[in-house]
């Protein structure tokens, strides 16, 4: 009996140690506790509604985004997932995530559309394409799409619906992240899950 109790205690301490190695925070937009940007312009908007953040854009040349400072220490390893609900995926607009946001003229973003992705750098208001390629993201309607950005050392790994898209060497300078919509459409961000690796 003592041996069984000892084994159980060892197993529990192992599970507890693993749990202590990660800190997980979820944001489901029931409240705006991380102060995501909200605004209402004539042709575009960002608003928090019943359990989601909605980006709406009626201008096919406009970039619309919302950002927030997330409780992540960027010098350490982390995983952040962004869960979207998309009314329609096609090749007429792009959507995705923002990172390294300094201001509206300086940030990076990872965006996708039907069958393609781009990794963009915006520096002093000038947008350049860092990487682009094909991905498996089919045209569809009413689809949930999960984005993940994983930092391990000096590497950033981007995934879409659990599929590995690209890994790059890039420094993360700050903890301001967000979602972005490029072109005319409406998207909903339903949940953000932040997982900090505690060493």
| Tens digit of each residue's pLDDT (9 = 90 or more) over 128-177 | 999 999 999 999 999 999 999 999 999 999 999 999 999 999 999 999 99
What range defines the domain where residue 110 resides? 24-197
Residue 113 CA to residue 17 CA, distance in Å, equals 40
Asked, for residue 7, whether it belongs to a domain, the answer is: no
Asked, for residue 42, whether it belongs to a domain, the answer is: yes
- Residue 38 DSSP class: -
Asked, for residue 2, whether it belongs to a domain, the answer is: no
Predicted structure pTM score: 0.86
Q: What percentage of residues in the chain have a pLDDT greater than 70?
A: 89
* Cα separation values, 69 from 25, 42, 93, 101, Å: 13, 26, 26, 10
Asked, for residue 5, whether it belongs to a domain, the answer is: no
Asked, for residue 8, whether it belongs to a domain, the answer is: no
Query: Across all residues in the chain, what is the average pLDDT?
Result: 89
Residue 11 scores a pLDDT above 90 = no
Residue 191 maps to which CATH number? 2.60.120.560
| Tens digit of each residue's pLDDT (9 = 90 or more) over 75-91 | 999 999 999 999 999 99
Asked, for residue 16, whether it belongs to a domain, the answer is: no
How many separate domains does the chain show? 1
Asked, for residue 102, whether it belongs to a domain, the answer is: yes
- CA-nearest of 147, 149, 132, 142 to 187 is 142
Asked, for residue 19, whether it belongs to a domain, the answer is: no
- Residue 198 DSSP class: P
């Amino acid at each position: 009996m003592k041996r069984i109790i000892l084994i159980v205690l060892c197993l529990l301490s192992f599970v507890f140690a693993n749990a202590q190695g990660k800190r997980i925070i979820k944001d489901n937009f029931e409240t705006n506790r991380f102060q995501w940007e909200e605004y209402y312009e004539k042709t575009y908007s960002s608003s928090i509604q019943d359990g989601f953040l909605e980006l709406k854009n009626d201008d096919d040349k406009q970039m619309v985004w919302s950002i927030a400072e997330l409780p992540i220490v960027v010098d350490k390893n982390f995983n952040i997932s962004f869960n979207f609900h998309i009314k329609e995926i096609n090749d007429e607009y792009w959507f995705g995530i923002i990172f390294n946001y300094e201001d509206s003229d300086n940030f990076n973003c990872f965006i996708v559309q039907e069958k393609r992705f781009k990794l963009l750098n915006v520096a002093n208001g000038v947008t350049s394409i860092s990487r682009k390629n094909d991905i498996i993201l089919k045209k569809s309607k009413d689809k949930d799409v999960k984005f993940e950005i994983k930092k391990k050392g000096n590497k950033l790994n981007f995934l879409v619906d659990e599929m590995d898209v690209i890994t790059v060497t890039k420094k993360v300078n700050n903890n301001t992240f967000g979602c972005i919509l490029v072109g005319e459409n409406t998207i909903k961000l339903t949940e953000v899950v932040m997982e900090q690796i505690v060493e």
